[in-house]
Structure 1
Amino acid sequence: MSLDYYPFLGRSVLVVLTLVLLLAVGWSASWLRDRNVPRFWLTVLTALRVAAVGIILLMLLRPVIRVSRDRPARLDRLVLVDTSASMNRDDTPNGETRLANVLRRLDDPSLRRHGLREATLHWFAFDGHARPLEAAERSRLQADGLETDYAAAFEEALLLYQWGLDDPGARRLKPRFLLLSDGVDRGRLDARAVAARLGVPVDVLPPETVEQPASSRMTIADVQHTPRVLLGSELRMQVTVRQQGCAGVPARVVLSEDGQTLVEQPVTFTQPREEQQFMLQFRPDQAGVRRYALRLDTDAPAAGAPLLSETGRVVTVRVETEFHDILMVEPEWRWSFPFLRRVIEGDPAFAFSGFLSRGAGVFIQFGEPKRRVNLTGFPRSLAELEGFDTIILGDVRPDELPPALIAALSTFVAERGKSLVVVAGPRMGSWLRYPDLTALLPVELMPGGGLVEGPVPVRISDEARSSAVFYAPDGRTSLARWRQLPDMDQIYAPLRKKPAATVLLESTGRRNAFGPLIVAAHHTVGRGQVLFVATDTLWKWQMLGTMDGDGNTPFTVFWQQALRAIRPERVGTGIDIWLHPDRTRVEQGRDVVVHARLDGSIPQRQVQLAGRVHAGAGRDLPLAFTPQPDDPSRYQTVFVADEPGVYEILADVHGGGDVLGSAATQIEVVPRPPEGADEAVDELALVRLAAATGGRQLALPPDADQPAAARQERPMERSVSVVDLWSNLVLLLALTLVLGTDWLLRLMRGYI
């Protein structure tokens, strides 16, 4: 309970008025005493007048009392009874129809544990549309509908329920659906998506049926892959496996080449899932056109083994030997030089060239045999840099470099679209005297170099978690390598990042006026990209970092993925597209939802996604992909599969007049059987519907009579009662009673 005040007058005015009224009461008491009024009646009359002053004060304060209490919330259930022709089949254990079976099961006393006894039930019958169902109609209800549309029934039943409420405010409440059906949905829209949009959980109660020996089958429904990949780079294949009756059966997808197994991916289905999608990844070690085979294997006993797809899938990938040339310049030997050199030379996607200073302008040159650029000496102009894709500058003093080379770096990055990596060190403060160089950096440097002694704990910044630098496939344990990174011995912290730059690594315990100290940052300059690393002890990740299952350390993965993320893009290799239909096997006449995901370093605002559906016989349907507001790299489109057959879905990414990527996938559209056809109860579809909407399948075990559980499930709501003592005239009546009593006593006792 709470008491609030809404005074008519200000506080000071109320205080003055109260004092005046109390003085008047004191004067009246003195007047009565001079009239020789007995002490008892003098006390009574004075008390009545003090009470009147108090009531007047309360009236001016306008008190409002609020009383709150918890009570069981309104619990409404919308019972949807399927009256389509399929519910007229008499394949239940007792020989009754499916419709009669679910209605009888609903009357089972054990359903009290699901809260049905405490709920207010609103009954609806539906086939293609929903209609209210009166109690008198239930006993003579017939299952003769010509279609079954869950989505339309959900929307129409909810509207009819809300329109029938007497309290308009109660329309905001969301009831629960209880679906009595056999799971055979013929609607065009996805019932799970419609129920999720309405925000209503769907509980399901299927009819009992005589168990039939169901055939189990598992197939590879779809495989998507990048059509070309660089030698040594990661090849990704998106595989979709479909199952029927294989819940809990262990299997695996095997990727092989010429009979030699390359990758195995375990596959086990839980009960509600019909399809499972995952990414296979490996690194090709030979160039050329490669043919890879995918098949399904199982270790289950023969009696419980599913029927696996016989042919599997064969995909063709072009493995190319194209690589990027990297030039590394170090003014002196540091631990980072041999470790980084080893990473670059061990990656087939890169060719290493390096210069290590020995003092007095003398450099030792290193290089791989496969490199395309062979310098006769230290580069001194833009022309000598043209063949390189990325330049890595160690702790270099700009005044030790040729002046023409300093001027060439800006053109190399901003105009040529190449990449620059700067690894800071003790000489970083000398860069402040060269504005052309500091303009390339994604950070503002600290005067004096910004040395911070360690240990300096580091972590991935929040804005960099989706960066390609820290990419890790879904479900891979490689994500764990970024959670606990070794501390840095020292960092050369910049002041702050520049606008539009992305902080990749930051300190967890050291800050300045602009936030956590920056350890690594990245941004775009003109057509090129620049990566800044503010420490020369990143090599500790190689020695102390946690290895993944493939033996890779955080140091190796960071530099491999960072150099790939900033390397200059070439036409046709910028973006990979992954298409994901909501199902690979669709019934004729249903909506097909296709999701698309773009992977690549090209900004999404610079590209357009176009798609089409090829349905055979020259029928092509354009698709309009819509970007998702929460993730611009994800798109979605919908089309209707109106004819049976195999549909090929194709998508292209366009940017700058070029096709930057393509993808294709297939779905199978099966003929729509007539309502009432010989179809078994699809309990799996009902379970998936309940799981997707936050509902459940109602179970009827023999000992399920637990009314206490239902009471615990029932939610409580808080009601608030408001008592306005001014508006309901209580104070005015009290004041009238007190003053009337005072006048009556004085009249009867003769004190007037």
Structure 2
Amino acid sequence: MTLWSYTISTPALVAAIGIALATIVCSIRACRRSRGRRFIALEALRLIIVALLVFTLFKPERLTHTSYTEQPLHLVLYDMSESMATLDVADGNTFITRAEWLQAQLENEFWRPLSSDFNVQTVGFGDIAADSGDAVEGGMDAIGTDLNKALNDALTQYPDARAVILLSDGDWNLGRSPVQAAVACRRRGVPVYTVGVGSHRHLPDLILDEVRIPSYALLNEQIAVPFRVSSKLDRDVETAVRLTVEGRVLAERSIRVPAQGEVNDMLSWRADNLGRYYIDVRLPLESEEKILENNEAGGFIAIREETLKVLIVESEPRWEYRYLRNALTRDPGVDVDCLLMHPGMRRGDGHNYIRHFPGSREKLAQYDVIFLGDVGIGGNELTEKDATLIRGLIEQQASGLVFLPGSRGRIFTMIESPLAELLPVTLDPEQPQGLAAAHESRWEITTRGEAHLLTSLTRQSNKNRRVWQELPGFYWAAPVARSKPGAHVLAVHGSRRNEWGRLPLIVLRPFGNGQTLFMGTDSAWRWRRGVEDKYHYRFWGQVVRWMSHARHLAHDQDIRVFHTPETPQRGDTVFINANIFDDSGLPLSNDIVTATVTIDDDQQQLEFEAVEGGWGLYRTKWKPARSGTAEVVVSSRTTGNSLTSLLEITSVRREKIGQPARRSVLRDISRITGGSFVDSADVSQLLEAIRTAPLEHQVMERFKLWSTWWWGLIILGLCTTFWCLRKAAGVI
């Protein structure tokens, strides 16, 4: 049966009547004044247009009522995702997994009491993986559950469904919110009855997560692998995390994890063999643990032998410079060049000294890290050209820059130079000579600095804060107002503060493809007191290696490749950068650079785009479609050379066993659709509620004529025709 419905407010009704009457009066008068049928036809067209507009104000809608002649269809939608393997459903005195409980319900046909009144169909849904070909918002290649998609697909497959019984733990981690599907069900008049499967509490568990393994390390380098252990146990746990390579235990860390708490720590060992190895990090099982899969993590690491190139630029041979130069000169993995400018005097000369700043791209490109001491722009020190070259090296070739200001205040000359944006801090112009104190000031490491590899001075990260507190202090600090946006403050002044908080002392900030570091005192050399080189050498060695890490992901003489992120996950956007040089070491800016990326039997061709600046930087991006080891071959057409690097793509598993059931999600779906929610133990009550619930025997489809695009187009077309005819008749 089809009916028409009209809805209009009182003001709109009055307006419609007024418009209609005024139009009729005006048309009658116009017909009396005019002669000829042509004008009468125009007025008739005017009346038709106004009539359609008035009709539209009544919001006409066509209502079509369809009666059901067949037995109503009910869907049983059940969850088969990985999270259903959680062992937390009570079965008498024991526990079974959510999937086992669900399988028992399906085998027993729990919906049998409804069979006499309804046609029941069962539909399962599970994890969405990369190979399924489904495009999922929030990570097209992630493995997880899209509850919104499951509901929409079921209703698309069974458009005559009258109700849905959803058995799930409510864990959705992909796609849009299931509330959107619930709203669509409500509009169709389809209630969703939900059954919450699983406990709302965490299972007893000890979890090893966030294990960060670098993609490469240098031979004889101290390698740190940070990790985090979280506990879902009701007691404190004393355990040990072990790191093994090829069955050999290379590092072990004893930790104490508080009840329902977490511990951040790190494993460290010294790489003594070249090659590519798989690192396995394990956490022993506790007696009451129910989940075994999250006590292990791992990844590949390449051990290489390389020498890092460092340039130190200083004005005067202050103590900080002397001990820094000695520390890096004695480091077997570092090759140091020093430029001691001696304003007003003859420049420094001798072993590993240079007389002039490397004033060209090909000369400066060899340096992985540059230290700028108490030097500035002008005054027979650095020039604007030198500053521009340093900026390009950091921004486009992923080198590192370390600022080491001093009491001469020469760092203020950089504020108006190309290096201004590279400073990780904002300086205080009212204190150009810095902050001197008569008494020793102390360091205070921040929470971020306590866990950062650059500021780690001990193998036991839980003791790192104490080590920093016990370090010999300082009597001078740089005039810092605050850190810049995007910067990471690793250490602050122990006593001085301003309106922004504690004065930052060690600040790290990314710039372009590289990193910049600000060291706000000139007294790191004092750390040698009583312990000799223990902390001083370790800190500066870590600074050099950390600041140059991205630059050495893959390189040879003519091509350097680095990418972000370093250890991407499947579905991430990976930005691949390549620096191309000719045989003389000069950066090539007009080359054609391509890459071939191969994972198993899947191969893709990528084209790089040149980045302006003259540093031979080329960039492209790639989204891996599967996990595994990707072979990336970057080729230069001009030089004919190529570079092969390996990139580990990890899998994203959003499905986690042991998480509490998300009953709130299921309750929201039922509330919106007009259904109801029960626990898995109360399924029989739900069936009785469904059986006795009133059921509509008709479905109504509403067609809103007044809001369709083509209705508006018809009125617009008639108005256009009316205007054209009046124009042709000479009325306008």
Bucket of the pairwise TM-score, normalised by the shorter protein: 0.3 to 0.5
TM-score by length of 1: 0.42
| Larger radius of gyration between Structure 1 and Structure 2 | 1
